[in-house]
Amino acid sequence: MAQNRTLQFIGYAYGNTPVSLTAQINGTQVFSGEVSTIDTDIPPPPIDLSSAPALFTVADSSLFPTDFSGSYPMTLTVTGGYGIVTENVLSNYMSNKTFAQLYDSSINGTTLTVGSLTDGTIEPGQAVRGIGVAAGTTIVSGSGSTWTVNNSQTVGPISMYASSVIPGNATGFLDCYQNYPVNDPRSNVVIDGVAKTPISRPPNGTWTWAVNNGSTLTCDLTVSLGNVG
């Protein structure tokens, strides 16, 4: 059965007077009110938002049941203070996906030898895929370049892909949009009528947007399919 999801919009508000936000998604007002404000001017980029709180929350929203996957138009208007800096959007009931790309790697018996790890992290429980790799092969244990898998076979050296999916829950919050390598949920971003084109992808796949007092950000907000454990 589908569950309504809660979205957290991450960022900081700055000013020597309170900052208020008004947010609409698909024509529905989902938030309007003051947010916690830091009594300083907006700092110059880059701004570290890795520990930033939720600027505002859209709780138990029927707009985003766990069986929804798609985009809605969104507007976010800032009033008071100096403005906000916002980055990611998190959701509950999202899968926790792990992945690893292995190059020049082999399986002999139940030993997986990794030639090089080109991206991601290898973890026990990940399914291993590649040309000639037996269906249902998973990583049991190991570290570094030597790992143990469940199925005995002889494969490689070839390129392999290892991944796992951990179902979501009501209290865990992860990226609302999960799409390697770019996980940015906002596209077609316009601030005060000016289209914004990011120059390059940041390491975590999410861009940072500064919206000043009196300004409005519009975008398409994309939310991936949920996963109920």
Neighbours of 9 (CB within 10 A): 25
Q: Are residues 37 and 131 in the same domain?
A: no
The amino acid that residue 198 corresponds to is P
With respect to residue 160, please indicate whether it lies within any of the assigned structural domains. yes
- pTM, rounded to two decimals: 0.76
Burial class (CB in 10 A: 0-12, 13-18, 19+), 46: exposed
| Cβ atoms of residues 13 and 37 within 8 Å | yes
* Domain that residue 112 falls in: 96-166
187-225 as b/e, with b when 16 or more CB fall inside 10 Å? eebebeeeeeeeeeeeeebbbbbbbebebebbbebbbbe
Give per-residue pLDDT as tens, 84-125: 999 899 999 998 777 888 999 999 999 999 999 987 889 898
Note whether residue 229 is domain-resident. Answer: no
Examine the fold and report which residue of 144, 166, 188 is the final residue of a domain before the chain moves on.
166
Instruction: Determine phi and psi for 226, rounding to 5 degrees.
Output: -85, 175
Question: Is the residue at 158 inside a domain?
Answer: yes
Same structural domain for residues 108 and 184? no
- List pLDDT tens digits, range 138-167: 999 999 999 999 999 999 899 998 988 788
